[in-house]
Structures are given as C-alpha cells and as structure tokens.
Amino acid sequence: MAKHKKDSGKKISDYFDEDPNRVNELALSWESFYVDYSKNLLDKETIDLLISMAHEAGLEKAIKSYFEGENINETENRAVLHTALRQLNPASIEIHGDDILPKIELVKKQMFDFADQVISGDWKGYTGKAIRHIVNIGIGGSDLGPAMVTEALAFYGNHLDVTFVSNVEGDHVEEVIKKIDPETTLFIIVSKSFTTQETLSNANTLRKWFLNQAPESAISNHFIAVSTHLKMVTQFGISEENIFPMNDWVGGRFSLWSTVGLSICLAIGPKHFEDLLSGAGKMDQHFRTADFHENIPVILALITVWYNNFWEVETEAIIPYSQYLRSLPAYLQQAIMESNGKGVDRNGEVVKYQTGNIIWGASGTNAQHAFFQLMHQGTKMIPADFIGFAKPLHQGNDHQDKLMSNFFAQTQALMQGKNAEAVRKELSNQGISAEKIEALVPFKVFEGNRPTNTIFIEQLTPNNLGALIAMYEHRIFVQGVIWNIFSYDQWGVELGKQLANNILKDFEEEALGHHDPSTRKLIQHYKKFRN
Ligand code: G6Q
C-alpha cells in the first residue's frame, strides 16, 4: 500500500499533532464499550483504504453467508452457526432444509432445567446428597472456553465448585481426584467427537475411580455427557437422558455458547448464562449491521491486518486489566491461532503473504512486572489490546484508581516514550553527575511509538463478557476473509495425533527402525525408564 510507504517515518504522536480531532475520529462507542484505536500508526485515510480492501474482498457477502448458515467451513463441509445459539430475536435458520431453531430452544431448556435442579440441590448423588463439585472433562474447545468463562465470571458464581481436567497427563487427573468426593461430584464429559484421546482417558480413569466407591447404578446420578455422537456416549455407559446434544455446525473453539457451556451454566446459573448469550447476540447484531467505519470487530481486524501485512509484525499481545480474565489470552490463542494459522488459501494455493499472527499475553498489572520490558524497550514492535473495566465488581477498597492509572499509563508510555532530553533533565534533578548521566541516557530512553488499542468497558458482567468474546470471534472471521483462508477447520492438529498413536503402539515393539534417529533415541531413552 502506497500509504504505508508514505507514512512509514511518521510517529503516532505526529498523527495527533496533525489532527486535533483524532481522538474522536479514531474511537468507537457502542453499548458500554469504548474502543480507542487512536494510539496506532495509522490515520483515517489508512482506515478508509483498509475498508476499501475489505469491500474488495467481499466482506459484506461473506458476513451474510456466515450468519445465514452457508457451509463456509468448506473443507469439513459444515456451516458455522454458533451465532444461532445467541440470537436476540430468534429467527429460524435452515440448514439443508431443516429449521434448527426449535431444537436450539429445546436443548437450551434441557440445559437450564438441569442446571436449576443441580444448583437447587434437587439433583441428588447416589447417597442422597446434593452435588457440590462439577468436573468438566474435555480438552481444546471443550475446555478452554468453559474454563475461561467460569473463571472470568467467578463473581457471579454460586456454591458449586467447578474444576476442569483436560490433559492426558495422569498427574492432572490424579490432582483433581484428590479434591473431590464421589458422593457429591458430577462429571461432565464434553467431547463433540467422543473420540478424543485425552477426554476418553480421563473419563475412563474417573469412572473407574468412581466405581471403586459407588455401585454401577450410581453412574446415572453422576455422569453427564455433551456430544454430537449419542451412540458412542451410550456405549460408554451414559444413559440417553443424561446426554446433552450438540451440533456439527458449532465448531469446538466457538462452542461455549452451546451445551459445551454446561459447566458455565452450572457455575453461574441459567440467568447469567442467558445474559452471556445476549451480550454476544448484541455484538452479533452490531457486527452484522454497523457500517464498517463504525464496526468494532471490522476495525480491529483491519488494524491487525495493517500491522501483520504492511508492517510485517508477527505478534499481538492481549492484556486484560482484570485478574478474572487471566485466561483470556490462552483462550484467544486457540480461537485466533487455530482459526487463522493457515498457509494455504481457499483455492488450495500456498499463500504468498502473512496470515494468522502469534497471540500471547497475561493480565495487567502482573504483565507489567514480567514481559513489558520487551514491549517498551525491546527491538520488536508488539501491537497490543489493553482491555479494562471502569467499575470493579467488589466495592469498598481503594484499588480501582491504582489499577486504572496503570491501565492508562501503559498505553501512554508505549506511545509517548521518553527522549534523551527528558531523561537528562530527570537525572540532573536527582543531582547525578553529568558524566554519569551521559552513561545512563541510552538505557533510560524509551523510543515510544508502540501501538495499542484500548478496549474500555463499563464493568465485567456476563453480558459484556459475551460481547467481548463475540467481538474477537468476528475479528477472526474478518481476518480470514481478508486473507482468503478457511478459518473454521484445524487440519494442522491431526498429524501429531496420528504419530502419537503410532508411537504409543511402538512402546511395546522392539523394532524402531522406521522412526527418524532422534525420535528413535528418545523412545529408547523413555523405555529405559519405563521398564
Ligand atoms: C476446536 C478444535 C479442538 C477440539 C478438541 C476437542 O475448534 O476442534 O480444540 O475442541 O480437540 O474435541 P472434542 O470436543 O471432539 O473432544
């Protein structure tokens, strides 16, 4: 883009000097969100050009196909309709001639009724005690979303204690076992495919442990499943009335809105879960209807494309100034990197440009004491999203102003930096000798000019969290359209699974000649310890 070349020497502060109205032009207010994207290396003209690019890429039509249930997940021949689960004014959507709305409503009712029973204590364990612990057994999309949201909305939680077990590592499940009581624990096996090694191993181990203490008949009080594969679940020993179905048009990493979110619904109750859905539904509406210039997911997506493809920046940090959202970066790592980490375009051609960027982050202010050094003075440009909430959930302490001052100061510092002159002045005011000052100056200078978005929200409520997550989901979608890649498959996770299955068999074999020398040696080394 000629614009990139033309402006490449400009600083963010130059843009502010040029346009006194910049802060109003490059900010969006929507519901209780205020998104300030003025601290970026771009101006209105850049945004206009990026929006033209989005039009050229056919974004309007793509959005329509997404919400109307076309099979946009082409390589798996599926629609992508997690948005159908959170419509504000539910409208029927047909997939292959079937209206999916009645089924959505029915399953939601099944989920809410069940949650009410468990929360109220009407659902009893096999010895007549109410449930106290929930163990969600799942991995990837069947774990990260529910775990992140349950943690994020802990303030709205009830007496139920929800634990997540995901890793196939036996130590993970053993640590969970230490904390639970078979009489008062409900296990939810969440697996869309019901073939996932980690989930089935953990489910089998937990069932075995449970049956060491309880009769077989107790399974129906304590084991619930969420899956598309009802037959496989019944074969596992879970009766049909304990199965919550899901659909193949809900992708794993976008499934927290479905029955996969059962553990969230148990943790916060149906009312808050409904609020979470409606917040996402509102963001869906915004995304579908707002002009691209006013459209938060579109603008943020284009800013990422700007840095990724024109500035050749590889990573993006996500810094929520809320300890409740400490797992948001890990959740978004999957959502974003599994979706857009693709090197082949929609025609099957190897792309000649950069696609999905690397996502990482941690909660602020903790992150300030960890990796912010590199963001401020390192050699890499790291665009970052700063997410903060104006009102705390707990009142009656004096922390909020301190938190917010840090929240604002960091994006200011990243943009403004500190020049040599300011450093000299500061050191000389401290009475330091001129010689010492000159020796210190290079280390104390901040170059600044480091871009950030500020996503500032009134309060962390289920509604706002729903909207925030949906905002990122649509940002992913827009980027996939611009990069002309398929965002909703994940073939890249398959090869490792296949090879792991081969290696698992080979632990019993003597002949390992078919492995490469490094892997062969590693397996031999392992076998030495194992035997
Ligand atoms: C997400 C992925 C993946 C999936 C897990 C668990 O989009 O598809 O993370 O969620 O592999 O799969 P199951 O739910 O089928 O066990």
CA of 226 to the centre of ligand 1 (A): 12
Q: What pLDDT was estimated at residue 462?
A: 99
Q: Is 497 a catalytic residue?
A: yes
SS3 364: coil
Nearest residue to 87 via CA among 298, 283, 291: 283
Q: What pLDDT was estimated at residue 359?
A: 98
Task: Find all residues with CB under 8 Å of 253, minimum gap 6, and list them.
Answer: 140, 141, 144, 145, 334, 335, 338, 339
Per-domain boundaries in the chain: 2-77+274-392+400-483, 101-246, 491-530
Ligand 1 atom closest to residue 139's alpha carbon, by position in its atom list: 6
Q: What pLDDT was estimated at residue 530?
A: 86
Task: Find all residues with CB under 8 Å of 381, minimum gap 6, and list them.
Answer: 307, 311, 313, 450, 451
CA of 206 to the centre of ligand 1 (A): 20
Measured by CA distance, the residue closest to atom 13 of ligand 1 is: 191
Q: Is 369 a catalytic residue?
A: yes
Tell me 327's DSSP state: T
Q: What pLDDT was estimated at residue 82?
A: 97
CA of 36 to the centre of ligand 1 (A): 34
Q: For every one of its 531 residues, what pLDDT tens digit does the chain have, with 9 covering 90 and above?
A: 788 888 889 999 999 999 999 999 999 999 999 999 999 999 999 999 999 999 999 999 999 999 999 999 999 999 999 999 999 999 999 988 899 999 999 999 999 999 999 999 999 999 999 999 999 999 999 999 999 999 999 999 999 999 999 999 999 999 999 999 999 999 999 999 999 999 999 999 999 999 999 999 999 999 999 999 999 999 999 999 999 999 999 999 999 999 999 999 999 999 999 999 999 999 999 999 999 999 999 999 999 999 999 999 999 999 999 999 999 999 999 999 999 999 999 999 999 999 999 999 999 999 999 999 999 999 999 999 999 999 999 998 999 999 999 999 999 999 999 999 999 999 999 999 999 999 999 999 999 999 999 999 999 999 999 999 999 999 999 999 999 999 999 999 999 999 999 999 999 998 898 999 999 999 999 999 987
Ligand 1 atom closest to residue 227's alpha carbon, by position in its atom list: 14
Quote the strand ranges of 191-266, DSSP E.
223-227, 243-245
Q: Do domains 2-77+274-392+400-483 and 101-246 have the same CATH topology?
A: yes
Q: What pLDDT was estimated at residue 499?
A: 96
Helix axes 197-211, 170-179, angle to 10 degrees: 40
- Using CA atoms, how far apart are residues 42 and 313, in angstroms rounded to an integer? 15
Q: Is the peptide bond before 365 cis (omega within 30 degrees of 0)?
A: yes
CATH number of 101-246: 3.40.50.10490
Q: What pLDDT was estimated at residue 20?
A: 94
Q: In this structure, what are the phi and psi dihedrals at residue 81, rounded to the nearest 5 degrees?
A: -125, 35
Query: First vs last Cα of the chain: how many Å apart?
Result: 61
Q: What pLDDT was estimated at residue 97?
A: 86
CB 79 within 8 A of CB 95: yes
**The two structure tokens encoding residue 267:** 């943790």
Q: What pLDDT was estimated at residue 1?
A: 75
**Identity of the residue numbered 449:** N
Q: Is 103 a catalytic residue?
A: no
Bridging pattern class, strands 358-360 and 452-459: unpaired
Domain 2-77+274-392+400-483 part of CATH 3.40.50.10490: yes
SS3 282: helix
What is the CB < 6 Å shell around ligand 1? 139-142, 191-193, 196, 199, 251-253, 338, 490
Catalytic hit among 338, 342, 376, 474: 338
Catalytic hit among 64, 179, 497, 525: 497
